[in-house]
Amino acid sequence: MILLENITDLIVSVDHMEKISHYLTDKDVELILCNDNFIQMLNNVHRRKNDPTDVLSFPLRGDREHEPAGSIVISMDKVKEKALELGHTERDELTLLFIHGLLHLLGYDHEKDKGEMRQIEEKLIWRFNLPESLIVRNEGP
């Protein structure tokens, strides 16, 4: 189940993301939707990068059976910006960032692996009938 905390004034449905979450894990996931200022503060505190980013993941590494997988924080400002730039809907952009964040919660790391995380993202894009424009991020290093 997705536990949504929306601290923006945007109305968002998580139904599509629920299906993806259940496909990948039986653990609950906290999803926090925010603006650039909020995510920039988190990025600075946790990664020492004083810039807004699109998505941050905070995994819980416990082995308790009913413990959530962790938290995903997504900047809706970045969602709007990237959707406009790449020509797809904000819902699709949000879904891609959710997939990316969820894979990080599950232990994948595109900065260290040899493309495995990007391949899984691409398979999920196809499986859940998301637009091909989302695969743009899967190209290159």
Q: Are 96 and 134 in contact (CB under 8 A)?
A: yes
Domains, the chain, ordered by start? 2-135 (3.40.390.30)
Secondary structure tally for the chain: helices H, strands E: 5, 4
Per-residue pLDDT tens digits for 87-133? 889 999 999 999 999 999 999 888 788 888 888 988 999 999 887 75
Report how far apart, in Å, the C-alpha atoms of 129 and of each of 73, 89, 119 are.
23, 13, 15
Per-residue pLDDT tens digits for 9-27? 989 999 999 999 999 999 9
The one-letter amino acid at 19? K
